Structure formats: C-alpha cells, structure tokens
Amino acid sequence: MIQDTSQLTDAAADFSLGEVRVSLSPQERFEEYLQSKGKRTTSQRRVLVDHVFARHEHFDADELIDQLNKKTRGDDRVSRATVYRALDELVEAGLLRKMSLGSRSVYEHDYGYPQHDHLHCTQCDDLIEFRSDELLKLREAVAREHGFRVTGHRLTISGICRACAEKRHRRPSPLDLI
C-alpha cells in the first residue's frame, strides 16, 4: 500500500512528491527499449505495462501475477515466466525500480516519478513515500565535503507505522519499568 505523506498534519513541512514531466508514455518508452534490444512488443507485455502504470502502488511479482490473472483471459493471459522476465526488462529500461524489503522484492514506478524515499512499516509492510528538501541538502553537503558527485540515492527507514503502533498499545505493566 502506498501513502502520500502530504496527508500528514505537520503544517511546518511539505513532504509531497511533486511531479515529473516525460515526453513518452511508459508504453512508448518500453517499446523503444525493446526495439533497442531487438525484442518484440507482445500483447502480453502491453497488458502488463498498461496494468502496472494504470495505478501507483508498490507490488511484488506474485501480487502482479494474481492481479493479471483476475483481469485477463485468453490470448491476453500473461504467464508467470513472462511477468518475471518483463519485470526485469522494465527495471533495466528505467521504468520500474526494484527494492528489497527483507526477503521480498518490491517494485515501484521510476519513470516519470520524482526522487523520493520511504518509511517501511516492518509490521504491516506498508511503504510511505516522502520527499525532503532537508535530506537533499544534507546529502549534497556530505558529498561536497568528500568531493563526491551524487547521481542519486535511495533511503528506506524501517519502523512501525501509526496504525500498527496503535494496535500494539496495551495496558502498562510493572515490567515496563525495568
């Protein structure tokens, strides 16, 4: 599940992601990539790209396979092998980004999506996206100090989201004082 942190009540900070303009649709960009590799654009690849870019959410391969199986029939049916192969191609083409959350690989949009970071709830596996100008300034200052040219970064902060923390509340115990 994805959350946009612009919904947070902290009026002092705006962590919304903003927007990035692109000249090609994800489908056109993927077709361009496939052509450069001498590969065909199949109807299954089109269905997969359309489905992935119709919404913005983090997903793993099994979730995508389940969603596609519910949505497609006949010639448009996408096999498990095609999904895995296409996901690798979409990452290589710069359309998706692959992240590891423990033993699980999760994908998210990369093409046409701004630089951002994540809060990862280790209880429910939710990812909350945010963007921070202060973090970018810190990154640049550290890079400058070390003579380092930054080409990007990826930050995932692990912890427990508000909803999971509220579920865990219990009556205080004398053992809490130890």
Question: 124 a known binding residue?
Answer: yes
- Would you say 4 is a known binding-site residue? no
Domains of the chain: 20-113 (1.10.10.10), 115-178 (3.30.1490.190)
Q: In 10 A of CB 82, how many CB atoms? A: 17
Q: Angle at which helices 43-53 and 80-92 pack, to 10 degrees?
A: 70
Helices (DSSP H) in the chain: which residue ranges?
A: 26-36, 43-53, 61-71, 80-92, 133-145, 162-168
Largest CA distance in the chain: 68
- Asked whether residue 10 is marked as a ligand-binding residue, the answer is no
161 is an annotated ligand-binding site residue? yes
pLDDT value at position 121?
92
The answer to whether the beta carbons of residues 92 and 36 sit under 8 Å apart is: no
pTM: 0.74
The answer to whether 18 and 81 are in contact (CB under 8 A) is: no
- Segments of the chain with pLDDT less than 50: 1-12
Residue-wise pLDDT tens digits, 116-132: 899 999 998 888 989 89
